[in-house]
Structure 1
Amino acid sequence: MFEWILVGLISGWLAGKILNGNGYGMMCDIGLGLLGGVIGGMIFEVLGVRAHNFVGSILMSTSGATALVIATRIIRDEI
């Protein structure tokens, strides 16, 4: 459970930095990171790719969180 929170924190923060924004705040970034991990896991599962270590989990979660942040920004007309 602690690893999920840590991965969510790191990937949410990275997604905010990748998209040149200040993010949505710490708790929302963690939430987006956790949801991004689920989304990234589903996307990479379809592609047949699995994360075998901590760094792979962060990369997978960050890509999902980035997609999720882009989707929320499109919905909120921020892009």
Structure 2
Amino acid sequence: MGLLYALLIGAAAGWIAGKLMKGGGFGALVNIILGIIGGIVGNWLFGLLGVSIADGILGDLITGVIGAVVVLFIAGLLKKK
């Protein structure tokens, strides 16, 4: 059940991050996949910094969105090269 939860939160985070990062040009499916990766990155980044945003679904979603924005930003930089 934990994997399904992580995939759903990551997919939602990727979709939201794709809407926030206009002009990314990756499409909805790639944004969702990058959102799943971004959720992992967000959890790692906030764990490294010792930051906790909130508990529960909302906190997981915010963490995932921030991680997905970071991943989409880096992917956008790599896409331009």
Q: Which TM-score tier does this pair reach, normalised by the shorter chain?
A: 0.7 to 0.9
Unaligned runs of 5+ in 2: none
- Normalized per residue, the structure richer in helix is 2
1:55 equivalent in structure 2: 58
Distance, in Å, in 2 between the alignment partners of 1:74 and 1:37 is 19
1:73 is aligned to: 76
Separation in structure 1 between the aligned mates of residue 29 and residue 19 of structure 2, nearest angstrom: 15
Amino acid at match of 1:66: V
- 1:7 aligns with 9
Query: How high is the TM-score relative to the length of structure 2?
Result: 0.82
Q: CA deviation at 1:23?
A: 5.3
Q: 2:36 is matched with which residue?
A: 34
Q: CA RMSD in A?
A: 1.8
Q: What's the TM-score, normalizing by structure 1? A: 0.84
Unaligned runs of 5+ in 1: none
State the 4+ residue runs in structure 1 displaced beyond 3 angstroms: none
| In 2, Cα distance between equivalents of 1:69 and 1:22 | 7
